[in-house]
Structure 1
Amino acid sequence: MLKGKKIVITGASSGLGLMTAMKLVQQGARVAITGRNESKLQAAVQSVPHAGRLSTYVLDVTDAEAAAKTLDRIWREMDGVDVLVNNAGFGYFERFIDAPLEHFEQMMDTNYMGVVRCTKAVLPQMLRRGSGQIVNIASIAGKLGTPKSTGYSASKHALLGFTNALRQEMRGTGIIVSAVNPGPFESPFFQTADPGGTYVSSVQSLMMKPERVADAVVKAIVKRKAEIDLPGWAALGVKLYHLFPRLSDRIAGGMLNKK
């Protein structure tokens, strides 16, 4: 199913993006990974079996011109792109009252506008061809806000709004638009989001392994899923919260305050 598929993953020099690339390459896909740091990208290649099917491109998703040029180059050099996985993102966990405005701007610029820029660069060519898939790595945080994540949750909420609206626009075009929304999992993400380790320590028993999330991304591609929420308990919690927000705040408010 994946053999010969041409897939681009942004923000993939480490963590979830790189692990997903490994799994896709092992199943026969041709994968281009992007990241801001050339040396990290080259180190990533060395860790991937079957690296002959993996290529690297330096890309900062906050740079609109670079996104357009680099993704156009990838399209030409790979002779098309079947799937774009918008994975680049980061977060800060901090109280709203203490958070500087630039942190909100930075998260929105990468987590939301970065996806918009990369999708803008690839989608017109997919539409001309009449096939393709956009997979956006959002977060359960985009559906369920928790203390100390006002900026991060807002950026992922924006990404989910964009994803859901674009999915409707693409109906009948041959383009699939997907979202993968993980809860907490082991990731370099927390080096920035939680440098003191408070959150990681408090939810250690609930942390997913990154392999589980990478498998969900692969599943979204293979089965052309509209959306995957994981883990199951988090997906159920989101549904209950949306049905009974005030009751959920009273019952689970303390449980959600782990940062």
Structure 2
Amino acid sequence: MKKRLLNQVILITGASTGLGEQLVYCAAQRGATIVACARNQIRLSQVIKKAHQLSGRPAYSYTVDLSDPEQIEQLVAAVTKKVGPITVLINNAGIGQFENALDIKLTVMEKMFRVNTLGAIYLTQLVALQMVAYHQGTIINVASQAGKIATPKASVYAASKAALIAYSNSLRLELRPRNIRVTTVNPGPMATDFIKKADQSGKYAQSVAKIMLDPERFARRIIASIGRGTREINAPAIMEVAARFYPLFPELGDWLVSRPVFNRK
């Protein structure tokens, strides 16, 4: 079990902190060759050093801004040349800002879509073309429970993640005959720096403390799904129940989501 991912080349975006960092460590413990990507090269260097210690195998880091298509192209070309074909892609990078829809700036909207949606889609396209040639591979797209149930002050972020979920659902059907598995991951609030950056007041983190996910435990769950054809991973359970309930009773769902008990931003 420990070396189940031996000889797998796993590319993980947003790998310098939070869930991405834990995904690196968890995959490394199972013998994978890690390719970690993020914008923070200093943090990446530290993460890669630990990954190498855990796996005993080479580990690689690349500084990349996923809002820039040219950098994405350069990343895939560099990894393919130096490391080899990417067998597992985990699109984990994401940014968010909790702000009223009428107040959020266009530059912020564009950045969220370029990183959360377009960057992930373009990187997936380039890597999937390699996977098709080898007739195997796994793509894991980290979306969000916000993409299933939008709440006040998360309109643009929710829209970017809902688009990623829809893309993943279609991609899954297209790539299934090619022996390429697509998994969508939809976490709720998680104890990472993401929440601190999205809501600098700190009130949201305090209000959802009881259902906050632990990134290390959740990373283990994601890595364990590789090779199993898992369609979706959803957490916490209470939010997934709500997501299934919402489409059946949308008006009641709107009312509940607008109440303080559910709207914590």
* TM-score bucket (shorter structure): over 0.9
Distance 1:31 1:44 in 2: 10
Match of 2:54 in 1: 50
Match of 2:156 in 1: 151
1:84 maps onto 2:89 in alignment? yes
Structure 1 segments (4+ residues) deviating >3 Å? 46-49
**Which one-letter code corresponds to 2:54 in the other structure?**
H
Q: Which of 208, 211, 234 is the matching residue for 1:206?
A: 211
Query: SS of 2:247's equivalent?
Result: helix
**Do 1:220 and 1:227's aligned partners in 2 also have CA atoms closer than 8 Å?**
no
**Which one-letter code corresponds to 2:37 in the other structure?**
T
Query: SS of 1:171's equivalent?
Result: helix
Distance 2:249 2:46 in 1: 47
The Cα shift of 1:140 comes to 0.5
1:8 maps onto 2:11 in alignment? yes
**Do 1:180 and 1:220's aligned partners in 2 also have CA atoms closer than 8 Å?**
no
Q: Give CA-to-partner distance per residue, 1:165-222, whole Å, 9 cap, x none.
A: 1111112111111111001110111232011101001111111111232122113314
The Cα shift of 1:6 comes to 1.1
**Which one-letter code corresponds to 1:234 in the other structure?**
M
Distance 2:216 2:249 in 1: 32
Bigger shift: residues 149-158 or 32-41 = 32-41
The Cα shift of 1:51 comes to 6.0
Bigger shift: residues 136-145 or 240-249 = 240-249
Gaps of 5+ in 2: none
Bigger shift: residues 187-196 or 51-60 = 51-60
1:20 maps onto 2:23 in alignment? yes
Alignment of 1:96-175 (within 5 A): 96-175=101-180
Q: Normalising to structure 2: TM-score of the pair?
A: 0.93
Gaps of 5+ in 1: none
RMSD: 1.4
Match of 1:95 in 2: 100
Match of 1:29 in 2: 32
1:242 maps onto 2:247 in alignment? yes
Match of 2:263 in 1: 257
**Which one-letter code corresponds to 1:50 in the other structure?**
L
Match of 1:223 in 2: 228
Q: Percent identity?
A: 36
Bigger shift: residues 213-222 or 175-184 = 213-222
Task: Figure out how many residues of one structure are paired with residues of the other and give that number.
Answer: 259
Query: SS of 2:77's equivalent?
Result: helix
The Cα shift of 1:37 comes to 2.2
**Do 2:31 and 2:55's aligned partners in 1 also have CA atoms closer than 8 Å?**
no
**Do 1:141 and 1:183's aligned partners in 2 also have CA atoms closer than 8 Å?**
yes
Distance 1:13 1:195 in 2: 20
Q: Structure 1 residues 69 and 192, CA, compared in 2 at 3 Å: closer, same or farther?
A: same
Match of 1:71 in 2: 76
